[in-house]
């Protein structure tokens, strides 16, 4: 009598299990309780993936480690044959269980490196499966512990820009937050930010020329040079008028000094920015101040 019913104890297997792992156990029910059965993979309807499996006794095994992202199910055809040579064929669909995969996050570039204070730089990242196929999606948060941006992944890559707010060596951290089917991961990279070059300018002297003995005001600016866009809000400009030097504090890139004229003719004025933690000092700007001399009539 033909074997009247047989089954496979499990028709699913987790992805990433090792090669030759057991899928399930085959068993047959027959009216002859003393009968025994052998199992083989056979050609026929549903035999598409027979070559991916093996049978040892009553155990169905998978030849290679399965990867859900590469193949989510298999179709096989198995024959159960009794001692008398009678057999029954049956098609099975083996499902691969999708598990959360480990990932590897890599900071692929941070450019320009070094950057200067007041200049943005772009951090590029990639997120890939640690093994197997597929492409992680989602986003990566990137930061230097003070400034942060978010890179949205497309085909496993993304980028965003960070500002350079202070000079020094920064540690960039990229944290992938994970998504459905993908685990979190992170990477770090060192980035250097140098001081920005600056330009000091005596913008005007008012009034000029000045009345002998009269007051006049020197107006100055300090600006950062390209590619920096930083506004200078600290530091001092040393202003030398003749032989007298006065330190003038900077506010929002500007400074001024009130001077009392006490001589005739001309005097040379030097203005030199001394720099700060984020900005280099610059060479002096120079202007010449003239006083008016009045004659009296009798």
CATH architecture of residue range(s) 103-194: Sandwich (2.60)
Q: First CA to last CA across the chain, in angstroms?
A: 149
10-66 per-position pLDDT tens digit:
999 998 899 999 999 999 987 777 788 999 999 999 999 999 999 999 999 999 999
DSSP codes of every residue in 92-142: EEEEEEP-PBPEEEEEEEEESSSEETT-EEEEEEEEEESSSS----SEEEE
pLDDT in the model for residue 214: 75
pLDDT of 281: 83
* pLDDT tens track for 62-115: 999 998 888 999 999 999 998 889 899 999 999 999 888 899 999 999 999 999
Neighbouring C-beta atoms of residue 199, cutoff 10 Å: 13
Q: How far apart are CA 257 and CA 253, in angstroms?
A: 14
Question: In whole numbers, what is the pLDDT of the chain averaged over residues?
Answer: 90
Task: Centre a 10 Å sphere on the Cβ of residue 1 and count the other Cβ atoms it contains.
Answer: 10
Separation of alpha carbons 44 and 2, rounded Å: 18
Model confidence, pTM: 0.71
Q: How confident is the model at residue 261 (pLDDT cuts 50, 70, 90)?
A: low
Please give the residue that has the higher pLDDT: either 67 or 122. 122
100 C-beta neighbours (distance < 10 Å), count: 12
Q: How far is CA 244 from CA 240, 241, 268, 276, 281, in A?
A: 5, 5, 11, 23, 20
Query: What's CA 96's distance to the chain center, in Å?
Result: 32
Q: What is the pLDDT of residue 295?
A: 46
Q: Work out the burial of residue 149: count CB atoms within 10 Å of its CB; fewer than 13 is exposed, 13-18 middle, 19 or more buried.
A: middle
3-state secondary structure of 177: coil
* 5-97 and 198-292 agree in CATH topology: yes
- What is the 3-state composition of the chain as percent helix, strand, coil, each rounded to the nearest 5? 0, 55, 40
Q: How does strand 59-62 pair with strand 53-56?
A: antiparallel
Checking DSSP bridges between strand 157-163 and strand 120-129, what pairing results, if any? antiparallel
Flag the least confident range among 11-25, 77-91, 203-217, 240-254: 203-217
Compute the average pLDDT of residues 269-286.
88
pLDDT cut 90: percent of the chain above it:
70
Q: Is the pLDDT of residue 181 over 90?
A: no
Cα angle for residues 264, 269, 271 (degrees, 5° grid): 160
> Which of 5-9, 126-130, 205-209, 267-271 has the least mean pLDDT?
205-209
- The tokens describing 165, both together, are 């707010």
> Is pLDDT of 298 > 60?
no
Pair type for strands 115-116 and 185-194: parallel
**Calpha distance 248→244 (Å, rounded):** 13
Listed by start position, the domains of the chain span 5-97, 103-194, 198-292
3.30.565.10, 3.50.50.60, 3.40.50.300, 2.60.40.10: which CATH number matches 198-292? 2.60.40.10
Domain 5-97 sits in CATH at 2.60.40.60
pLDDT at 160 over 70: yes
Based on the number of CB atoms within 10 Å of its own CB, is 62 exposed (0-12), middle (13-18) or buried (19 or more)? buried
């Amino acid at each position: 009598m033909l074997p009247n019913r047989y089954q496979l104890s499990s028709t699913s297997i987790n992805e990433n299990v090792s090669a030759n792992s057991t899928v399930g156990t085959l068993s047959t029910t027959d009216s002859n309780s003393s009968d025994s059965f052998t199992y083989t993979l056979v050609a026929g309807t549903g035999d598409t993936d027979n070559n991916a499996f093996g049978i040892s006794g009553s155990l169905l095994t998978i030849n290679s480690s399965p990867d859900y992202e590469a193949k989510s199910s298999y179709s096989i055809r198995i024959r159960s044959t009794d001692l008398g040579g009678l057999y029954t064929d049956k098609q099975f669909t083996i499902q691969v269980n999708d598990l959360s995969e480990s990932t590897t996050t890599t900071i692929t570039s941070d450019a320009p490196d070094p950057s200067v204070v007041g200049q943005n730089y772009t951090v590029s990242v990639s997120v890939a499966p640690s093994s197997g196929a597929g492409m992680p999606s989602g986003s990566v948060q990137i930061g230097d512990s003070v400034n942060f941006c978010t890179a949205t992944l497309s085909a496993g890559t993304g980028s965003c820009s960070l500002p350079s707010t202070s000079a020094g060596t920064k540690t960039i951290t990229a944290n992938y937050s994970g998504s459905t089917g993908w685990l979190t991961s992170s990477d770090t990279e060192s980035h250097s930010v140098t001081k920005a070059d600056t330009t000091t300018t005596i913008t005007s002297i008012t009034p000029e020329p000045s009345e002998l003995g009269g007051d006049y005001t020197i107006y100055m600016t300090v600006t950062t040079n390209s590619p920096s866009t930083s506004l200078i809000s600290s530091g001092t400009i040393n202003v030398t008028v003749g032989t007298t030097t006065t330190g003038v504090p900077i506010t929002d890139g500007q400074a001024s000094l009130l001077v009392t004229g006490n001589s005739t003719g001309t005097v040379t004025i030097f203005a030199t920015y001394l720099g700060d933690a984020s900005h280099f000092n610059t060479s002096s700007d120079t202007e010449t101040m003239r006083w008016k001399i009045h004659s009296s009539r009798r």
